[in-house]
Structure 1
């Protein structure tokens, strides 16, 4: 998608990298230079909250947390939706020198408790949606409420008790005031891993994201992805605040496809980021709901956290009139590691997740040797965004973090220009009689079949081949494309051993809280 040269030069001259060293000073530049500029748009009435007001609320929360006996380097949990309470709690904790650990509010009480105990959190902050559940937690739980008037004035309600002094328990003993966050990632194991990220990790990530997309004060977005995962936290919320932009938090703090375009128009959004599943939803509803010429003009749309098939990418670009940029990252790399560039900064390459952004990327063979361009291997990442390891899990840290490199567990290849293409997760590979099959590749082909909305591919145990290929497919119309037509399409586009031996038409697929395909649930539901 071509961009006029004059516009390209003008944008480059306007872009200024954020001056942040972590979460604690995230707002400082904007408070000095643009105190009354909008930072957030909140509540169903879409009230504007300025940078000055947001910083004032965060400072008040920081003072109250310190007065409760929490010391620098202590860990606190956050159980909030995408609300003003989350943002104020996160920044307040950072300004008090605490380490914030966002948790999924939808987790059952037993899992919330287990994670807080494993971390050694000394308290947990809740917004109204979480405190209203009446959950019983093993640490002091304090309700936080942010009241914002239509005029943009705001007040915070938080009455913490007193935390007993004492030695940190759980993994918190491994934390210090250099740490900013602990994020939980279940990955492909049953036990959630705890990833500590320092303020330096956070700052490096935000510098890379803002530079990649040239984000600045003229930009605005709608929070689609949850803030308890890196995608929503780094790519939408923190990068916007670091660059002086604005984030609209949807009513009740959750994405709604029905209000999405109204929200985008209300904030004059210039971009948004989401997982492929949400992009598919917006595309499916676009004929009824996309406002066309009334939609805000978008600089770009971003996709991350799961593979996006090429057919969907091109359809989105045609519908929304903006380039769709695929990005790649992990919790352990403070979210983004690679991204396709803005069109005026480089070529968009089909099937690629772009070039490294602020990190080094290698593709290595089983012996740890770098693969030549175009040769598939495991993707390794190194740089200032990479975490030091996992908390309270030395064995897994030793396997995953090697000589400063993060072993991602993803298969991919680099081309001669440094663009990365992914082919799947090593642990997901299906071994059919010695032939290694990437489920992600087969899913991409299935998604390109006319009439197919989405697909999940899984291993089916087999006494002869060890494993066979199974697929669960959702079609767009109940009386549309049939099983035999889909299989015929697969035979035309896949190697014979990759064609699904079992194919079921289903009404929907299970997804994780962060919007990725829940492969464990797929395997349990369809493989037996």
Structure 2
């Protein structure tokens, strides 16, 4: 059953999402109508950078890149933390007609090299690393340092050292790109698993419009950049949607999230919302007794959670603490980030445990026979619409597996209810097969996380000669709690089928996470799954 995207948000209150066509004109309306409005808050002094100043810096970078020998549709890497340099480099390269490939500054040299060579990027724009982070590893192509200097008065200048002209040799996947493309994002994973996702300016525009429409983002909104911009969550939801809607984004002084300064940053920005992964929400919740400023906190319209499952107990606790609705969203790189979201409370019911309704796309749940599942029946989640990428670069086999007639086969398991709300139940590839019984690790993790004293849990398969696989769990217990294995297992037996109850519990101090903020399941298996 296909569920069309809800359009009621815009019709109900005449909200109109921004009319942008991609990265190139993302700032144009604000520059015309509100040139002196703040676009970014930057540096330790929290200086306001206006839309006019930001656009001028981007134009300066575009002009300098036009003399490097690169042509429209050529890729360029971007390695930078969440600083003004990232924003200026991204928009400047886009205005020069280049396709930007943001990369995680923390990647080791082997992975940076593998990704740049696979893409065929002839050069990389280098911004300053996050404070306290090690220097960026050496890369196999020319690295062009870019710096933005901002005065306390809000005036700014950019320095870009391009060195010698780039030799334009189309290599790797670069030959598959065109001037219609805006970005190449790498899926989460190790070097041998990361895939290159090309996103057009039309994909970007559709994503930004969908996010803005869902949350009615406008000129009165502001947020703090919590998630890294080299992944879709931080890039589309926090940065691009805010700028397109005329809002403001505060970039933390250190270039990355800091729980210690978060609430000060929120007050400095007069933030109206923020978005993060469940791990960061848990951190803020755990520190709220001593750090949440209560009545001195800026009033929030909503809080958003995405990129990993958020258990219902945490969602409710966050809403009580922050006094704002917490809206769960769902998306992936191949859908240009957001595909579904819970609506604002005034626009529809909140269903805790779901990730809401489609936002600008169609969603259907498909069974093993390829047919749409009835309401409430679990199957694979498929997404179709203007945000869906055309496939993977230089990987026709994975493209054939992941895309069917314009539909993105997400690999996620879920079900739709009668109102079109999507509930996710796990990943197909994560399923544990215990003697023929299929077990969702995510479901077991959600139950474990609800046990008093348990902060978080990771569930994985343990190889077994009799059953093929058994269920293992690594559990983090809240500091000062004395909950033991038998109490946790008793809690599970009351709420899980017998075959779902973990056969082995391992108590750990912390779980490994990817840079995107999701549980690193491969690292979990490597550490804890040995028989």
Does the C-alpha gap of structure 1 residues 144 and 189 become closer, same or farther in structure 2, counting only changes over 3 Å?
A: closer
Q: Report the CA distance between 1:188 and its aligned residue.
A: 8.1
- 196-205 or 167-176, which deviates more: 167-176
1:387-466, aligned counterparts within 5 Å? 387-466=389-468
Greater shift in the superposed pair: 518-527 or 163-172: 163-172
Secondary structure, counterpart of 1:15 in structure 2? coil
Partner secondary structure for residue 253 of structure 1: coil
1:154-303 equivalent positions in 2, closer than 5 A? 154-187=156-189, 190-303=192-305
Unpaired runs of 5+ in structure 1?
1-7
Deviations along 1:98-152, one digit per CA (max 9) or x if unpaired, are 0000000000011111111110111101112289826322111010000000100
Cα drift, residue 96 of structure 1: 0.3
Distance across 2 between alignment mates of 1:212 and 1:13: 12
Per-residue CA deviations over 1:37-61 (Å, capped at 9, x if unaligned) read 0000011111100000000000000
Pick the aligned partner of 2:152 from 150, 153, 160: 150
Counterpart for residue 52 of structure 1: 52
Tell me, what secondary structure is at the counterpart of 1:317?
helix
- Normalising by structure 2, report the TM-score: 0.96
CA contact (8 A) 1:15 1:215 kept: no
* Residue of 501, 504, 507 corresponding to 1:502: 504
Aligned equivalents of 2:289, 2:467: Cα separation in 1? 45
In structure 2, the gaps of 5 or more residues are 1-7
How far apart in 2 are the matches of 1:389 and 1:121?
A: 19
Q: Distance in 2 between matches of 1:369 and 1:117?
A: 40
Report the equivalent of 2:4. none
1:13/1:351 Cα in 2 relative to 1: closer, same or farther (>3 Å)?
closer
**Secondary structure of residue in 1 paired with 2:210:** helix
1:323·1:343 contact (CA, 8 Å) conserved in 2?
yes
- Does structure 1 conserve the Cα–Cα contact (< 8 Å) formed by 2:105 and 2:136? no
The aligned counterpart of 1:5 is: none
- 2:309 paired residue number: 307
- 1:32 is matched with 32
Q: Are 1:353 and 1:420, in contact at CA under 8 Å, matched by a contact in 2?
A: yes
Match of 2:287, SS state, is helix
Q: How many residue pairs end up in the alignment?
A: 521
CA contact (8 A) 1:181 1:198 kept: yes
* Pairing 1:365–2:367 present: yes
SS of 1:418's equivalent in the other structure is coil
Contact 1:68 1:160 (8 Å CA) reproduced:
yes
Distance in 1 (alpha carbons) for counterparts of 2:317 and 2:41: 30
1:124 aligns with 2:124: yes
How far apart in 2 are the matches of 1:238 and 1:266?
20
Structure 1 residue 189: Cα displacement: 8.2
- SS in structure 1 of the partner of residue 229 of structure 2: coil
Matched residue SS, 1:348: coil
Instruction: Tell me what 1:375 maps to.
Output: 377
Question: In structure 2, what is the Cα distance between the partners aligned to 1:375 and 1:280?
Answer: 31
What SS does structure 1 have at the residue aligned with 2:339?
strand
Is the partner of 1:367 in helix, strand or coil?
A: coil
Cα distance in structure 2, aligned partners of 1:407 and 1:463: 33
Q: How does 1:35-114 map to 2 (within 5 A)?
A: 35-114=35-114
Output the CA distance in 2 between the equivalents of 1:437 and 1:132.
40
Give the Cα separation in 2 of the matches to 1:189 and 1:411: 25
Normalised by the length of structure 1, the TM-score is: 0.96
Partners of 1:16 and 1:216 within 8 A in 2: no
User: Helix, strand or coil for the counterpart of 1:399?
Assistant: helix
1:511 and 2:513 aligned: yes
Aligned-partner SS, 1:128: coil
RMSD: 1.7
Post-superposition CA distance 1:403-458 (Å, at most 9, x none): 11000000000011110000000000000111100000000000011111000000
Q: 1:132 to 1:140 in 2, by over 3 A?
A: farther
Contact 2:328 2:341 in 1 (8 A): yes
